């Protein structure tokens, strides 16, 4: 009876340690916890790849707009997988205006009022697109920063996982031994 009472006390103590450990580390099932963290890690990495691709495209458009005068061959955002309707319409509009300008140059003089109007439209569209791309770059930087922060946090959790898992296994083992003895 005394041995049984001592074992019950050990079992209760081990059970309490196991319960406290789970509560402190917010762990229910270690393998599920690890899988969940790795799934989150993969999802965030794929989101980061998309954000990096967007960043490179926005920078391409910015450099293109600052360095060229003919905008008839600018790559549309939908080609690289960016589904921003405003950006797409601005790029297409600038492209169309540039083609219109090139066609007008074939038939009229360079100092023509009609050509002047098209050039003014191109410049307005270019400025609007520059502003839009600048805003997109800023918001994309915030997204990238948030993704980097979340990735860092999850990677730290993943690094802690083996240590926490070892602790959990030791506590679980003691609990199981006491349970077997009981």
> What number is the average pLDDT over the span 52-64?
92
Q: Which of 182, 143, 174 is nearest to 55 (CA)?
A: 143
Average pLDDT over residues 26-49: 77
Contact 78, 88 (CB under 8 A): yes
pLDDT above 90 covers a percentage of the chain that reads 35
Exposure b/e, 46-71, CB count within 10 A at least 16 = b: ebbeebeebbebbeebbebbeeeeeb
Phi-psi map region of 82: left, alpha, beta (phi>0 left; psi -120 to 50 alpha): beta
Length of the chain: 182
Whether residue 29 has pLDDT greater than 80: no
Residue 173 tokens read as 């083992």
What per-residue confidence (pLDDT) applies to 37?
78
- The larger pLDDT score, comparing residue 126 to residue 110, is at 126
Tell whether the model's pLDDT for residue 28 goes beyond 70: no
Counting residues of the chain whose pLDDT is more than 70, the rounded percentage is 87
Looking at residue 136, its pLDDT comes to 94
Output the pLDDT for position 71: 83
pLDDT in tens, 119-152: 999 999 999 999 999 999 999 999 999 999 999 9
Residue 31 is predicted with a pLDDT of 64
For 132, phi and psi rounded to 5 degrees?
-60, -45
The phi, psi pair for 74, rounded to 5°, reads -70, 140
**Comparison of pLDDT for 35 and 64, the residue scoring more:** 64
Mean of the pLDDT values across residues 19-41?
Answer: 72
Indicate if the pLDDT at residue 60 is higher than 70.
yes
Q: What is the model's pLDDT at position 126? A: 92
What's the mean pLDDT when you consider all of the chain?
84
């Amino acid at each position: 009876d005394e041995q049984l009472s001592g074992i019950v006390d050990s079992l209760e103590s081990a059970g309490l340690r196991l319960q406290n450990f789970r509560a402190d580390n917010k762990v229910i099932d270690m393998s599920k916890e690890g899988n969940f963290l790795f799934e989150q890690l993969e999802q965030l990495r794929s989101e980061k790849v998309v954000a990096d691709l967007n960043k490179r495209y926005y920078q391409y458009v910015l450099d293109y707009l600052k360095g060229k005068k003919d905008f008839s061959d600018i790559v549309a955002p939908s080609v690289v997988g960016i589904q921003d309707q405003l950006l797409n319409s601005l790029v297409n509009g600038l492209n169309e205006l540039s083609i219109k300008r090139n066609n007008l140059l074939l038939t009229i003089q360079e100092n023509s009022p009609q050509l002047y109007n098209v050039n003014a439209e191109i410049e307005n569209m270019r400025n609007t697109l520059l502003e839009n791309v600048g805003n997109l770059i800023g918001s994309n930087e915030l997204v990238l920063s948030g993704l980097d922060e979340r990735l860092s946090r999850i990677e730290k959790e993943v690094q802690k996982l083996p240590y926490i898992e070892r602790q959990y296994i030791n506590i679980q083992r003691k609990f199981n031994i006491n349970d077997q003895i009981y």
